[in-house]
Every structure is written in structure tokens, then in C-alpha cells.
Chain A
Amino acid sequence: MTQQIDLATGINLGLDYILSTNPNSLLMGEDIGVNGGVFRVTDGLQQKYGQTRVLDTPLAENMLAGIGLGMATRGIYPIIEFQFMGFIYPALEQIISHITKLRKRTEGRLSCPMLMRTPYGCGIYAPEHHSESTESIFASIPGLRVITPSTPTRAFELLVAAHKVNDPILYLEPTIMYRSLKQDFIAHQCPTKIDQCIVEQTGNDLTLIAWGAYMNEARKVTDNLREKNIHVELIDLVSLRPIDYPTIISSVKKTGRCAIIQEAPKTLSIANEIASNLYESLWSKLHQPILTVCGYDCGVPYPQQEQYYRQDVNSIQTKVLSWLN
């Protein structure tokens, strides 16, 4: 019988797979052991693998990153959970100055294969600092890979594939999707490349690019527009660094139109980055200027105003239709 899973379970199964197949892998983070993580993503793993492989660590994000580097240089594969994206910032020095530079600084003699996981994004009415979508900060760091799944199955596959890549990777988990989206779990052996977009729907009228939680809205907009005889080529970006430009350019070359939607604030964002590259590559092939539907530059507000910050399906669809007309 096919198992129905949600995103959190997909990640849990992926972590379980890595722990069971790689005896030198371990998980560490705050409250991930006995408690199974604040979102229960690591539920049951400490009981299964013990306290030396699933560590309830002291409360210090910078420590998690720095210790992870030391472990990685000795052949341990550390998987770090940062409890929320808004709490990673103390670790930025370790990530920018050490984790992502070690391979280059030693001309490849030492490297730092490791996975850092964190929930990100708003929509669950959490307190301040718990709803950040600051992926563009991390996507600007040389030497880092940044990936995000948008379905439970993809969450599993991406995690397993990431484990085989010998680079430091930030794995962003769309918080709002943890329990909201369920799917049949079917693709155990399916190899996934972590640095390639996934073209979910083909279409000739416009290319729509999204990632993470906004793939929910993007899928609904795609379905709604099809009823209006507008055929969207829907792309799940998956990898925020590096960005799979060959796939994107090939799609936009075909459709001549591109809309990008993101939860993060607009200024210096991934949406703007993609738009800028498309203008450089495809200026004469574009039928109209690129549409970006982004979060506002005020950043995610307190929960009371979150609904005004996060664009819903109607709002996105209205903007797309108005842009097309």
C-alpha cells in the first residue's frame, strides 16, 4: 500500500535513510532528540540511533556551524538543524569565512561536506523572527549550495541526493508546508540532481518560476490560468545557488514571457537576480518586461499583518493577468 506523507515526514524519512546508510553521519541541533524538534521533523531518530548520533546540543547556532566544520574535516557527515531561519545569523561568520571557504583555502586538501537544515517562511502565525525568508543572504555566499523542496517526495529525494554532494549545503524547509501538503510516497530510488530546476508543467504562453512554499500558489495559478486557455510553463527553482540558468533560459526563450514569485523582500533578491540574468541573455526574445511578485521590503511583519504581506493565489493571479493584458 502506498504511504501518504507530508513534508515533515518526507524529511524525517530522508534523515533516517542517511543515518541508516552512512554510519559516519550524525544530526545535531537544539531540541531535536528527545523532543524530536519543535516541528517534530526528527521525531524518533534519537531513540533509533542514540545520543552520540542525534545530539541535543547547547543553545548556540554559531557553535553548531563551527563544530560541524571540525567534524566534517574528519569524515563525519554533520546534519545541523537551525531551529528557525531567523536564528542562523550568529553562524554567518562560520558559514561565510570557514565552512564555504575551507576547500579553496586548502586547495582541496580539506573540505566541508555538511548539511544545514532550517524551516523558513511565514504563514504559521509564529512570533517575530520565526517567519524569515532571507534566502538571498545565503544565496549570495560563494561556496555554498542552497536548495529547497516543494513537495514531500521531493523533500526526501533532495535530502538523499544532497548527502552525496561533497559541498556545504543549506536545505530550506518551507514551514507552512510541513503538515499542509500530503502526497503518496512513491519515489524511493529516483535520483535527483540538487542543482537543477524541475519543470512541473510545460506550456507555451509564459514561464512561471517559484520555489518552496510559493509553489503551492504557483500550482494553483497555473491550473486557474489553464481554464482561461493560458498555458503556463511552471518551474520549481529547487536550487537557489547555483541557479540552473540553462533550464530557465531555454524555457523563457520558448515562451517569451517570465513571471517570478517569491516570499522574500524584493530588493537584492533571487527574483531580481533571475530577471537581471534573463534581460542580459534574452533581451530581444522577451515579448514583455519580466514580472516579479515579491515580498515587500519592510520584511515579514508581526503575525497580525502577515496576511497583508504574503501574496495569496488571487493576488498573484490578478497581477499575472494584468501584466499579460
Chain B
Amino acid sequence: MKANKLTEQLQFKALLPLYQYMLKSRLLENRMVTLQRHGLLATYAGASGQEALYVAIGYLLKKEDVHVPYYRDQPTMLMRGYKPIDLIRYWSGSEAGNTIPYKDLPICVPIATQCLHAAGVAYAQKFKQTEQITLVTLGDGATSKGDFYEAINFASLYELPIVFVINDNGWAISTPLDKQTKECDLTKKAYSVGMKHLTVDGTDMNECIATLTNAIEFARSNQPVLIHAKTVRLCDHTTADDAKRYKSKILINDEKQQDPIKKLKKTLVEFYNWQEKDDFALINKIQKELDKDIDTFKKDHVQTPETMFEHCYENMPESLKQQQSELNHDTTN
């Protein structure tokens, strides 16, 4: 799909909010990195370079559907009810940031384990005849793990309403895809379980919308789909990483040419008379919103120590209550 063949869905009115969410995520990411460098966040994993894919997912999923993220899904999460403050709190090291507005699952850190959770959710959706679907994301490195294979096998076998989206940004921390697998066309992984599969340029909003629309339609009729989305990771793996150790300057520059925000901006400028002053005003507006969230975060009360015992069980066992009271005793003395 080319930019000059935009579908009705993607006329300006629809396209502008998508651009806004992409920018919002990128600007939040920049602020997050600064907060981390100032010691206010623990570690942060960004999504820059991958915003078109994630915003398209957020745009196409219905509220009742279930999004099962890994840890690079910030743009989708912002579209599904998470506020920047929630994500700031999460990366600062507080469970209070794991708000689940639509009963989506929380960020998942161990690799590929979320694929199985998603297949379980999809089984429940079909079991309860809900007409909802599940969409789960994973990185390219996750395709090396058994959880991924076990999940696509189960989903295909039981014909579940689910879309698996591989965000192939080319790198699992420092390991490139051709060191993960001999078969770098990741749609081939679907062959072995008899699952539908699609490939998409994950930096191109139009392609993402078109491909995901197809996939979601299949999933709604209980035909699970695997999508191999090719993206670029314009950030380090996390704030604890330095990509310059394993990416050449040439590659880093090449990846910047694939920046999905620049690509969509170009479309807006060429086809919809979007101007620099519009861009500037939009960025200013978003930054002001983020200022408010960061101010709120800085005024947050630190969690009280005894709360770490809560929610381990539905009802706290006696032995845990005793340890909680020992802690209270220790902290008040």
C-alpha cells in the first residue's frame, strides 16, 4: 500500500490522532530516559522506531479485546487507557503503574512467556463465545523460546481468536536475528503449526493498518495469525544498554532513515498540508501534558514498606502477617 492510495479509514481525521500518539510516545520516551539518567527511574525500555506498528495495534483493537504486551508496547498502552504517569510509575519500580484499564495483561519482562498467557486468554474468549480477540506482541529474540512455539501450536490446534505480532527490530539486546535463527523469515515459524502468516513493514503506518486489519479479521473468525513486522530500534535495548557497542555508525544512520514518525510526517506534509508550525504546536501541547505527569510523579508518596506483603495471596497467611508485623517493628524502632 502506498501513501497516495490511502484508504478512507486513513483520511486526515483518522491519521492525525495516530501521528499524535506516535509523537506522544516518542516524547514520553525522551523524558523517561532523562528521568532515568537523573536517578528517578530504575530502568526503561523504549519503543522508538516501532511506534507505527504499536499505534496501529492500538487503533485497531476494540476496547473489549485483550492486548498482551511485552515491555516495548508503550504506544499501544497509551492508546488503551494507560496514562504517562502510570508508565512512569511502573518504570520507577512501583506496581501502582500496572493499571489495567481494559483488563489487558501487564507488561511482561521474561521473554516469550506472554505468548502462552495470550493463548490461554484466547481459549477463554472462545470458550465463553465472546467474539473478542487477543493480540500478543513479542520480539524477534522471543521466537527462539519454547513458549513461543508452544503457544502458536496450541492456538493453531484449537483455532483460537488470536494474533501474534513479532516486532522484529533486528536485535535481542546485542544479538542480531541471524544469530538467533537460520531462518530469518519468521513467518516460516508458522508453517510448522499450520497457522496463517503475514509480513509487514512495521515502520509504515499504512501497511501496518492494512495488514493488521486483515489479521484481526481472520482472528475474529477463529483463524489465528502470525505477523512478522520488520521495524527498527532507534533506542538502546534499555537505559542500561549502549547499542554503540554492537551497532555500526552506518547501521545506526540507516535505521534512522526508517523512523516511522518521520515517514508519517512526510505523508501529512505531502498530502494534508501539515506544516512545521502545526508540528511545533503539537509537540508543545504534548510536552505540557507530560510536564504535569512528571510533576505529579515527583510529588508521589513513596510506597510504605508494609504494602510489599499485600496481594501475595487473596487472604494473607498468618506467617506472612507475622513477618509484616516484624517489619513494622523494625522500621519504627
Q: Do A and B truly interact?
A: yes
Distance (whole angstroms) from the CB of A125 to the closest CB of chain B: 31
Closest to B116 in A: A66
Cα A111 to Cα B310 in complex, Å, equals 13
Across the interface, do B318 and A242 meet the contact criterion of CB distance under 8 Å?
Answer: yes
Stretch at the interface among A69-77, A115-123, A207-215, A224-232: A69-77
The secondary structure that dominates the B interface is: helix
Q: Please, which residues of chain B bring their CB within 8 A of the CB of A76?
A: 123-124, 127-128
- Which residues of A, 65-101, contact B by the 8 Å Cβ criterion? 65-76, 78, 90, 93-94, 97-98
* Inter-chain contact B106/A105, CB cutoff 8 Å: yes
- B313 in contact with A107 (CB, 8 Å): no
Report whether A60 and B146 are in contact in the complex, using a CB–CB cutoff of 8 Å. yes
* Given A62-B146, A66-B120, A243-B319, A74 and B128 contact (CB-CB distance below 8 Å): yes
B98-122 contact mask (Cβ, 8 Å, vs A): 1 or 0:
1110010110101001011111111
Q: Point out the residue from A52, A66, A102, A108 that lies within 8 Å of B151, measured CB to CB.
A: A66
B313 to chain A, nearest CB (A): 5
- Indicate if the CB atoms of A73 and B95 lie closer than 8 Å: no
Of A26, A68, A107, A145, the residue contacting B311 (CB under 8 A) is A107
CB atoms of B124 and A62 under 8 A apart: no
What separation, in Å, do the CA atoms of A58 and B158 have in the docked complex?
Answer: 11
B82 at the interface (CB under 8 A from A): no
Chain B residues contacting A57 (CB-CB under 8 Å) are: 154
Q: B42 contacts the other chain (Cβ, under 8 Å)?
A: no
The reply to whether A63 and B150 form a contact with Cβ atoms under 8 Å apart is yes
Q: Which of A60, A67, A76, A104 has the most CB of B within 10 A?
A: A67
Measured between alpha carbons, how far is A248 from B231 in the docked complex, in Å? 59
B127–A52 touching, CB < 8 Å: yes
Chain B residues closer than 8 Å to A166, beta-carbon distance = 314
- Which listed residue, A60, A111, A242, A246, touches B314 by the CB 8 Å rule? A111
B157 in contact (CB, < 8 A): yes
Supposing A66-B147, A106-B106, A110-B103 touch, asked if A73 and B317 sit within 8 A by C-beta, the answer is no
**Chain B residue with minimal CB distance to A109?**
B100
Residue of B nearest to A101 (CB): B312
B43 within 8 A of A: no
Chain B residues lying within 8 Å of A243, measured Cβ to Cβ, are: 319
> Residue among A26, A63, A104, A113 with the most chain B CB within 10 A?
A63
**With A63-B150, A66-B151 given, is the CB distance from A106 to B100 under 8 Å?**
yes
- Whether the Cβ atoms of B127 and A68 lie closer than 8 Å is no
Q: Does A319 sit within 8 A of B, measured CB to CB?
A: no
Say whether B120 contacts A143, CB under 8 Å: no
Number of interface residues of B (CB under 8 A): 42
* CB neighbours of A138 from chain B (8 A): none
Please give, as numbers and ranges, the residues of chain B lying within 8 Å of A113 by CB-CB distance.
Answer: 314
Contact A93 B110 (CB under 8 A): yes
Within the assembled complex, what's the spacing in Å between the Cα atoms of A78 and B154? 16
Contacts of B96 in A (CB 8 A): 107
Contact A105 B98 (CB under 8 A): yes
Name the A residues within 8 Å of B110 (CB-CB): 93, 97-98
Q: Whose C-beta in chain B lies nearest to the C-beta of A145? A: B313
> With A66-B113, A70-B121, A70-B122 in contact, is A58–B314 under 8 Å at CB?
no
Interface centre among A68, A109, A245 (most CB of B within 10 A): A109
B121 touches A74 (CB 8 A): yes
Query: How far is the CB of A238 from the nearest CB of chain B, in Å?
Result: 14
Residues of B near A111 (CB, < 8 A) are 314
**Least Cβ–Cβ distance between B301 and chain A, in angstroms:** 15
Residue B153 CB within 8 A of the other chain: yes
Task: Pick 9 A–B contacts, CB within 8 A, sort by A.
Answer: A52-B127, A67-B117, A69-B116, A70-B120, A105-B95, A106-B311, A108-B310, A142-B312, A246-B318
> 19 other contacts beyond A63-B147, A106-B98, with CB at 8 A cut-off?
A26-B127, A57-B154, A58-B154, A62-B150, A63-B150, A65-B116, A66-B119, A66-B151, A67-B116, A67-B117, A67-B119, A70-B122, A71-B127, A74-B66, A90-B146, A104-B311, A107-B95, A110-B106, A167-B314
In the A-B complex, the 10 residue pairs with the smallest Cβ-Cβ separation, listed nearest first, are A70-B120, A66-B116, A74-B124, A67-B120, A242-B317, A63-B150, A70-B121, A70-B117, A104-B311, A71-B120
